[in-house]
A and B are shown apart, each in its own frame.
Chain A
């Protein structure tokens, strides 16, 4: 059997998670580099239409892996069902998006098979016949090239935004094969309840043109006022990284990042934000990023257009005055 690449797309409650297209793009790029054929799979109950949607992309084949026990999602069912499928097809490389759902079941699946997952990757390299996967370490301060030293299947998850979903190549409708898997009674131990949204999100930052965001560097709750004044002067919205909202200094609906909102304003002004991966994924699409941080090695500077290495408490007050002056003059 030739080495194949399998992309497992993500569906939740019968809807394709759009981040899956990014994983298809990644799979197509690895297929082009290695010459290995690319296949895709969807896991669920009654998800044939999703399989057909994926079959419109340039893939050799799409598997619709079905069991009534896949709905609602549980890690027990997904790991057991996928394991059956993978042991019968034996792909070389299994790719998935690094979503909360995948994080929940893929380490279990790999462990059950005596395999490993290189998780949260941002790229790959194929050099001298060897595949390595690039991932961020130490909250993005360093990067690592990581290789597999185990047998296949090799599991890899890709960070949200690492590949462009809109670059997934279309193809001539690939064949869809339905594979029914058996999940024995007693395998599923968790009983999930309905998915719900907490309080209605009061603040929609996704439409904001200017965002002033604060991180740990703000030090104390009372200092939030300084950032608020800057946001007001600029006519922008105030936002924060997760630790600020965890501390209750700003409400959760002001949070930017993987567990908060994803934004792409004209200007993102990051004050005292180090730039942990979970924050970066929520704002790296901003048109311009200004970062103020006293740590010159803060990862936020990697993606900043303008970098100010310094104490935000020294820099923000004169900045507010200058912005006010400029506005008054215009």
Chain B
């Protein structure tokens, strides 16, 4: 990549249940019931924002991709409204049941005719929390990757990224492109969609990819959720109830007589 070249960025996005949505288990106890409110996976929102900022700096194109049933289109619509140029929707209920390995395979198959310089994903999803799909996708494409990224600069030979390590440490990494980056939340400040953006989004291209188009690339899942359940509490929790004033009095009593911190 050079100063003049255009950047083509793909952002992988996921629709997940809203943060405070009450979840109910399905009858077989293997997944949640569909009747909850959904939102965009928050780390993916930061990945999109970073892609938009890179495009503003270097020109080029931002494409967003997701997989899932019709409802998942909402995250693409929101991304288009915020400024993404076009969208790809792998649309089928069956995509929900894929493990990270097969989801990455489906994405790789859906973009086989595209030539991206960079692929961004959020660093993990708020539902599964596997933190794997981006790295798996890089390996399937044969591209280098870097994870938990807090900064991206274009260089003459590729990119320089800032990785977040644990305990407050960081590291710059120089790497060639094309590459896959998993983006840390907080890398930037998220923008809101504007009214004009929402209007324009309606006319932006959205390619639907049916399961049949990528099925040949998929295999059996390599891991299986045997059972989903409400975790057993390991701690005894005492509920403090009543009107606020009474709760305050009870808490102070605990602080003084049980915890002895007052």
A149 touches B223 (CB 8 A): yes
Q: How large is the interface on A (under 10, 10 to 19, 20 to 34, 35 or more residues)?
A: 35 or more
Q: How far is the CB of B159 from chain A (nearest CB, A)?
A: 10
A306 touches B237 (CB 8 A): yes
- Which B residues touch A314, using CB under 8 A? 244
Fill in one digit per residue for B202-232: 1 if any A CB lies within 8 Å of its CB, else 0. 0000000000000000001111111111111
- Which B residues touch A246, using CB under 8 A? 185-186
Residue of B nearest to A148 (CB): B223
Tell me whether B152 is interfacial, beta carbon within 8 Å. no
- Which A residues touch B100, using CB under 8 A? 107, 116
Beyond contacts A144-B229, A234-B262: 9 other A-B pairs, Cβ-Cβ < 8 A, are: A101-B165, A111-B136, A119-B132, A135-B129, A141-B23, A143-B231, A234-B255, A303-B234, A323-B252
Given A234-B261, A246-B185, A104 and B135 touching (CB < 8 A)?
A: yes
A138 touches B17 (CB 8 A): yes
Tell me whether B6 is interfacial, beta carbon within 8 Å. no
A137 touches B252 (CB 8 A): no
A190 touches B175 (CB 8 A): yes
- Docked complex Cα distance between A79 and B144 (Å): 12
B248 touches A318 (CB 8 A): yes
Report which B residues bind A (CB closer than 8 A): 17, 19-20, 22-23, 25, 32, 99-101, 104, 126-132, 135-136, 138-140, 144-148, 164-166, 168-176, 184-186, 189, 220-241, 244-245, 247-249, 251-252, 254-256, 259, 261-262
Q: How far is the CB of A279 from chain B (nearest CB, A)?
A: 12
Residue of B nearest to A267 (CB): B261
Given A136-B231, A306-B254, A108 and B136 touching (CB < 8 A)?
A: yes
Contact of A307 among B130, B186, B227, B237 (CB under 8 A): B237
B135 touches A144 (CB 8 A): no
- Which A residues touch B22, using CB under 8 A? 297
A138 touches B223 (CB 8 A): no
- Docked complex Cα distance between A326 and B229 (Å): 42
Report which A residues bind B (CB closer than 8 A): 75-76, 79, 99-101, 103-105, 107-108, 111-112, 115-120, 132, 135-150, 189-198, 201, 209-210, 216, 234, 242-243, 245-246, 248, 258-260, 266-267, 274, 276-277, 287-288, 290, 295, 297-298, 301-310, 314-315, 317-319, 321-323, 325-327, 330
Residue of B nearest to A111 (CB): B139
Q: How far is the CB of A226 from chain B (nearest CB, A)?
A: 13
A108 touches B169 (CB 8 A): no
Q: List 28 A-B contacts (CB under 8 A).
A: A75-B144, A75-B145, A79-B139, A100-B147, A100-B165, A120-B131, A132-B226, A137-B128, A137-B228, A138-B17, A138-B127, A139-B126, A145-B227, A145-B229, A147-B226, A190-B146, A194-B171, A197-B168, A248-B189, A274-B20, A290-B251, A297-B20, A306-B251, A315-B248, A317-B244, A318-B245, A321-B248, A327-B262
The A interface is mostly helix, strand or loop, or mixed, namely mixed
Residue of B nearest to A192 (CB): B173
Q: How far is the CB of A140 from chain B (nearest CB, A)?
A: 7
Q: How far is the CB of B190 from chain A (nearest CB, A)?
A: 9
A149 touches B255 (CB 8 A): no
Contact of B175 among A104, A111, A136, A189 (CB under 8 A): A189
B248 touches A319 (CB 8 A): yes
A305 touches B171 (CB 8 A): no
- Which A residues touch B138, using CB under 8 A? 108
- Docked complex Cα distance between A315 and B131 (Å): 36
Contact of A201 among B25, B99, B168 (CB under 8 A): B168
- Docked complex Cα distance between A325 and B248 (Å): 11
B252 touches A319 (CB 8 A): yes
- Which A residues touch B241, using CB under 8 A? 308-309
Q: How far is the CB of A151 from chain B (nearest CB, A)?
A: 9
Q: How far is the CB of A298 from chain B (nearest CB, A)?
A: 7
- Which B residues touch A308, using CB under 8 A? 239-241, 247, 251
B173 touches A190 (CB 8 A): yes
Residue of A nearest to B245 (CB): A318
- Docked complex Cα distance between A288 and B237 (Å): 11
| 7 A-B pairs with least C-beta separation | A246-B186, A116-B222, A318-B248, A150-B222, A107-B135, A107-B132, A143-B231
- Docked complex Cα distance between A216 and B18 (Å): 13
Q: How far is the CB of B122 from chain A (nearest CB, A)?
A: 13
Contact of B144 among A76, A132, A210, A295 (CB under 8 A): A76
- Docked complex Cα distance between A307 and B19 (Å): 19
A245 touches B186 (CB 8 A): yes
